[in-house]
A and B are shown apart, each in its own frame.
Chain A
């Protein structure tokens, strides 16, 4: 298995498949994993979070604990970075304490790449700036695979604020690696420069895209974007790029609605459409624990999860 997971592109399709299979083993008795496995007993995982993210941190913490690892949460405030507290010093401090893996969330794109140069531990990117969030992509690929026999040829529309989204990059590249056809939809002000080089279709017209999609994946639309002039108003954004029940009715019968959370109900997704049976948003959350368990398991020493015996 790979030494670090910084980008979804650190994996190949076989690696993704192995993570999906392993997560499936952990979930074989149901989506909520209650058993504890001894695999990572004696190993220490640090959650190094420079941004508060209760959801992602909790998911990683549960995943590590269910593999019997010791988990330390190390939160650094953004103001410490502003004051010049050195990432290198922090990295060396944690390293000196003897840890096996560092799960890092940071507001600066690329911070996990810098960290990986300074430590021996395995580094897992839990979201860097507006760059990548590879474990989110993995749990989404896993969720899609629960509903479709293969990702190859799957038509996925990713909608919204792509330029600022760490989820979008990992999602697009992960899906493309697995053979899916991605369409990026959103206002031109929120699409990355030169997005046409990404090998995805690009559209500003959500209504034209929805009837063809197997999955519609809505990105979080933040209020700051309106204040910074990317869109005139959230109301107008919602009218043009939000998923309401009328739009959802244009989807194919088997199509899924996904969202990385937390949702801005009424902006990128209406409350009603988030509650539709085809919306698998809470499944994504449950699957996050299983996929992160699989990743930690494979990166930190486990071999074949089917041979693992739970301790409780």
Chain B
């Protein structure tokens, strides 16, 4: 039993109930019980004047590295980072060791999440056994497990075989599951370490052309039309992919798409330092791509922001650029980067970070609406407070943030997970089971 409290005087932005205005929100025993003007009564009152109260954020794309690379991140440290970022739900990708391609692994990840008690953990199952791109993984076993997996991806690797992808999509319809494919055509991307273009030529680093992503996005949209599967396009990084998704949506396709904070913020020019902290897959692209991604997020062509939070220990990143692994930390900085580097209205930010991703994966109890009877998964943030990113102060086990030293506007003040604070007044509160 958790104490009752009233979050008082915040600007409540809740796309699920079309609410955007000052209101008080009362929480009893993990559930929202009242929304509106609430008089003083027995509950604790928490002043939220000047702050935004929204459904807590939902990340469709997270790497928690457990099992296998607990030196980079664990479910406990990753969900702590998530809580600091305002999240109450994360979707760890399957590229762990062992790979999350069977019921046992996804159930273990869920159990680790429950033990940490900081966020709901919804694992993503692998499409193919061991991410090998050859045989379908047992989607049905994962769907029927206690992890109830309804979202499959070989993230980190592209399913290059069109025939296999077609079968995966057809089979996934058994469970009305969502198929998500890391769109980087293997032969076009082979040997590449950054965006192919003017910068890669200057730096003498082999590039990955935008078209390596676009040919797979186009192919998967066509196969989704053929099979009727629900398709989710992860980490869209090019203007060409945006155009393909926009056209598919206009034609009525069952497709959703995400963009990462770093693809909304950074271009391939930062690679000029040869610092692998800027190495990521898909790679950072050009200014034109960044502009197209921001516009697509604003107009809803891209549904949501997902972090692709990808921790790597220092020794793996402090290497030659072409020997370092891809990935960036994002959970703790996502809100700040989105608010600082895009001109999106706050209501669209909340929708893109909470309502839309929860809807895309069908995660009941997340993403609002903030209404009586709904689980109290809430974030309270200050949209104008600035803070400076200090890698050593992050909750993640790793330090590979590309935003080190950046001043970000937008600070999470409280995160409330099922009625309990995981962050209160910017301080960590221990998880409870």
Contact = CB atoms under 8 A, between A and B. Distances in A.
A166 B201 CA distance: 11
B196 A193 contact: yes
B109 to A, nearest CB: 27
User: Interface centre among B197, B200, B203, B206, by most A CB within 10 Å?
Assistant: B203
A5 to B, nearest CB: 16
A271 interface: no
A211 interface: no
Given A110-B274, A114-B274, A87 B320 contact: yes
A88 interface: yes
B197 A109 contact: no
Contact of B201 (A87, A113, A114, A194): A194
Nearest to B198: A194
Contact of B204 (A88, A114, A132, A195): A132
How big is chain B's contact interface, by range? Answer: 20 to 34
B207 A108 contact: no
B198 A109 contact: no
B288 interface: no
Contacts of A129: 204-205, 322
Interface in A178-201: 192-195, 197-198
A34 interface: no
Interface residues of A, number: 27
A193 B197 contact: yes
A152 interface: no
Contacts of B206: 130
Contacts of B274: 109-111, 113-114
B321 interface: yes
A169 B205 CA distance: 12
Contacts of B323: 81-82, 108
Contacts of B275: 114
Contacts of B273: 113
A163 B192 CA distance: 13
B201 A106 contact: no
Contacts of A193: 196-198, 200-201, 207, 209
Contacts of B320: 81, 87, 106, 108, 110-111, 114
Contacts of B200: 193
9 contacts: A110-B274, A110-B321, A114-B274, A114-B321, A129-B204, A131-B203, A166-B204, A193-B196, A193-B209
Interface of B: 196-198, 200-207, 209, 273-275, 315, 318-323
7 tightest Cβ-Cβ pairs between the two chains A and B? A131-B204, A110-B274, A108-B320, A192-B201, A109-B204, A194-B198, A130-B204
